[in-house]
């Protein structure tokens, strides 16, 4: 039988990575996203165990913004404080020049905490799993690459079923 501490060290954590603007140093969005993946691996107690390929996606909702670069990272580690993890993600975003303005604005880096194990919570932040992850192909397609057996803990639906449902809607 595994101890609670062993189970906590192994909690799967899914983080979506995206950007569509150059970083403050002029780096292309892909480079900023690659640096973010390295930064995720350096967060205390967490290890990057898988990273999807990089996807190019149009802005959603459609706009005249540049296309995004998106991926999903699978981390493992302790998950006893999702709020602290979200704060760490926001710190990585800030170091990449992220400025929060209006919803769906272009950005130098976006790190979304998609899921922390089977945790379901409506409040406080972060809401888990991410409240719109199941509606976004730019999250689900790369997520399926790193966690093909993932089941949305709130909906009880597999990532494959969620992707199929998206295909029906479009």
- Residue 107 bears catalytic tag: yes
| Candidate list 60, 98, 136, 157, residue with the active-site label | 98
pLDDT of residue 88: 95
Poorest-pLDDT segment among 8-12, 68-72, 78-82: 8-12
Q: Please state the rounded mean pLDDT for residues 24-46.
A: 95
pLDDT of residue 4: 40
| Candidate list 25, 47, 107, 132, residue with the active-site label | 107
pLDDT of residue 99: 76
Phi and psi based region of residue 77 (left: phi greater than 0; alpha: psi -120 to 50; beta: remaining): left
| Candidate list 60, 112, 121, 132, residue with the active-site label | 112
Whether pLDDT at 7 is above 80? no
Q: Please state the rounded mean pLDDT for residues 102-111.
A: 83
Q: Decide if 40 contacts 46 (C-beta within 8 A).
A: yes
Whether pLDDT at 53 is above 90? yes
- Residue 110 bears catalytic tag: yes
Please tell me the CATH code under which domain 4-131 is placed. 3.30.70.560
Q: What token pair was written down for 34?
A: 């690659």
16: β partners: 72, 112
Q: Decide if 77 contacts 9 (C-beta within 8 A).
A: yes
Cα 54 to Cα 18, 44, 105, 116, distances in angstroms: 9, 25, 20, 22
């Amino acid at each position: 039988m595994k101890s609670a501490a062993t189970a906590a060290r192994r909690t799967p954590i899914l983080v979506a990575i995206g950007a569509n603007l150059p970083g403050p140093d002029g780096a292309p969005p892909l480079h900023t996203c690659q640096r973010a993946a390295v930064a995720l691996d350096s967060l205390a107690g967490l290890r990057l165990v898988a990273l999807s390929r990089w996807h190019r996606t149009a802005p959603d909702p459609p706009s005249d913004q540049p296309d995004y670069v998106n991926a999903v990272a699978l981390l493992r580690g302790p998950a006893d404080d999702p709020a602290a993890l979200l704060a760490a993600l926001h710190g990585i975003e800030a170091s990449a020049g992220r400025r929060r303005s209006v919803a769906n604005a272009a950005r130098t880096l976006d790190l979304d905490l998609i899921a922390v194990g089977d945790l379901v919570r409506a409040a406080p932040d972060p809401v888990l799993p991410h409240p719109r992850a199941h509606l976004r192909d730019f999250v689900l397609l790369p997520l399926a690459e790193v966690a093909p057996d993932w089941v949305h803990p709130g909906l009880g639906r597999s990532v494959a079923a969620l992707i199929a449902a998206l295909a029906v809607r479009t």
